[in-house]
């Protein structure tokens, strides 16, 4: 359908695989779409796919001007290019031909402050702007992603019907909602990715314990994860993990997973999440631990040398000694419970970060609705997101998922198994930083009194930072050293 005089309903610029698939998804839902890419071969490739995949209503254009003018006003243009300066360059090329009232939608993983700058810049030209998180990978883009648009509400309303048809569909509606003003859509997608980092790390730790302490084979692990995917852990990540263990190596014996280099890549959203948690003084230890593990995984040569040096220094491998005495059936069930409880903590941290940013920016985020649109299409989609939605519906001001009555009961029921797994892993010398971070988070959050009183006393001693008392109001400073070395004297000065 390259030659057509009819104007398209929407346009998409940036035809890497995600862009192509989202464009084909839109066309597949019956919305005529124009596409453009600076490398014209990508345009031709997309046109060919549109013909092969059902003669879809998609037209291709080789110049920014022809592309923009092929779209019905008020124009809505999605851009899917690499975050940063390529976005600015694409906006500059397209906006030259756009008119007041037209809209640009950035569907990349962009830093939210860049989106807020672009909203301001676009408004100077009379243009509307949305920063829209898109989750689900290549398959999600083609058949139904989770969409997180934030920015101009008018712009959202202009394409609401398209987004609702294109998004993944679950029993309580399409996996898209208007997130809020400014860069809220990009920020929510960033935290989604941070939670994803935590999820993946926790699953890898469950695998590590079951494989090396339990001595389970890949075929046994595939069966276990498949079984878990039929219960409370049902999710996309658990499902694909079961599949991964089944894939044989084409170039040798055994399964492919064992031949993959143990270095994990990353694109930056996890780091942004941890940075924002620090900026907002929100504890996110599970997400931070997952990021640290990716950094440490990159030190492959250092780790190999350290393993050799410490072995020569007398460090013994305790895995076999611990594994000999393990009840495998109990271990499998304990790890399932530990994984579930740890996941609750990870999601709680992500939701608390979103709440803090929402309060700071006045976004008025709807946390139950966020959980709902993550139920389908996206990488962290999971059955228990419906229960997170219900928790926030019961109490929109819920301080933490940990104290929702239902989740609190489940955490308490699983804590014994959780502690057994972490303790067993420590005894075996297997690192479980995500599970440990989640358990420490739970134990810290549940305690009415912490040893922070001693830390504050130390701060007062060396920096005169003062402290508060539990038995009277006001701020106090004590001459700690002077009093400690002189048995007489007044304890504190008000």
Q: Which of 131, 130, 105 is nearest to 26 (CA)?
A: 105
Any catalytic annotation for residue 189?
yes
17 is in an annotated binding site: yes
82 is in an annotated binding site: yes
465 is in an annotated binding site: yes
Any catalytic annotation for residue 196?
yes
65 is in an annotated binding site: no
16 is in an annotated binding site: yes
Number of C-beta neighbours around residue 78 at 10 A:
27
Number of C-beta neighbours around residue 169 at 10 A:
14
294 is in an annotated binding site: yes
> Measured in whole angstroms, how far is the alpha carbon of residue 472 from the centre of its chain?
43
37 is in an annotated binding site: yes
Among the listed residues 116, 196, 255, 410, the single catalytic one is 196
351 is in an annotated binding site: no
Among the listed residues 42, 110, 116, 189, the single catalytic one is 189
State the Cα–Cα distance between residues 350 and 392, nearest whole angstrom: 14
394 is in an annotated binding site: no
459 is in an annotated binding site: yes
Residue ranges of the annotated binding site for NADP(+) are 14-19, 37-39, 81-83, 109
Residues classed as catalytic:
189, 196
Residue ranges of the annotated binding site are 14-19, 37-39, 81-83, 109, 135-137, 192-193, 197, 267, 294, 459, 465
Residue ranges of the annotated binding site for substrate are 109, 135-137, 192-193, 197, 267, 294, 459, 465
């Amino acid at each position: 359908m390259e030659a057509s005089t009819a104007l398209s309903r929407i346009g998409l610029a940036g035809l890497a695989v995600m862009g192509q698939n989202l464009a084909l998804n839109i066309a597949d839902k019956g919305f005529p779409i124009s596409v453009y890419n600076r490398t014209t071969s990508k345009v031709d490739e997309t046109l060919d796919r549109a013909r092969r995949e059902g003669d879809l209503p998609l037209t291709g254009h080789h110049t920014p001007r022809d592309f923009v003018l092929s779209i019905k006003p008020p124009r809505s243009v999605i851009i899917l290019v690499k975050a940063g300066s390529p976005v600015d360059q694409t906006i500059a090329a397209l906006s030259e031909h756009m008119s007041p009232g037209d809209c640009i939608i950035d569907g990349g993983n962009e830093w939210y402050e860049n989106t807020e700058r672009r909203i301001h810049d676009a408004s100077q030209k009379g243009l509307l702007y949305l920063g829209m998180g898109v989750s689900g990978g290549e398959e999600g883009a083609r058949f139904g992603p989770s969409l997180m648009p934030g920015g101009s509400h008018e712009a959202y309303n202009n394409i609401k019907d398209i987004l609702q048809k294109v998004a993944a569909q679950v029993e309580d509606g399409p996996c898209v909602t208007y997130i809020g003003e400014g860069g809220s859509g990009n920020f929510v997608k960033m935290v989604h990715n941070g939670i994803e980092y935590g999820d993946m790390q926790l699953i890898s730790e469950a695998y590590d314990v079951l494989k090396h302490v339990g001595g389970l084979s890949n075929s046994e692990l595939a069966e276990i994860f498949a079984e878990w995917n039929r219960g409370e852990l049902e999710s996309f990540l658990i499902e694909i993990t079961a599949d991964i263990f089944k894939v044989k190596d084409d170039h040798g014996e055994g399964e492919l997973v064992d031949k993959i280099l143990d270095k994990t890549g990353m694109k930056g959203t996890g780091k942004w999440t941890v940075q924002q948690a620090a900026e907002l003084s929100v504890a996110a230890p599970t997400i931070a631990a997952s990021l640290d593990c990716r950094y440490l995984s990159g030190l492959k040569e250092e780790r190999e040398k350290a393993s050799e040096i410490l072995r020569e220094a007398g460090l013994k491998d305790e895995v076999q000694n611990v594994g000999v005495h393990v009840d495998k059936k109990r271990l499998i069930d304990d790890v399932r419970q530990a994984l579930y409880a740890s996941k609750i903590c990870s999601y709680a941290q992500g939701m608390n970060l979103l709440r803090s940013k929402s309060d700071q920016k006045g976004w008025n985020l709807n946390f139950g609705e966020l959980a709902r649109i993550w139920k389908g299409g996206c990488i962290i989609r999971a059955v228990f997101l419906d229960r997170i939605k219900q928790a926030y519906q019961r109490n929109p001001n819920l301080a933490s998922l940990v104290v929702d009555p239902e989740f609190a009961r489940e955490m308490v029921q699983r804590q014994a198994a959780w502690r057994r797994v972490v303790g067993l892993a420590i005894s075996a010398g297997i690192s479980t930083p995500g599970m440990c971070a989640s358990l420490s988070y739970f134990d810290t959050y549940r305690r009415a009194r912490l040893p922070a009183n001693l830390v504050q006393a130390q701060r007062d001693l060396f920096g005169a930072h003062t402290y508060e008392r539990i038995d009277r109001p006001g701020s106090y400073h004590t001459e700690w050293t002077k009093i400690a070395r002189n048995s007489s004297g007044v304890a504190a000065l008000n």
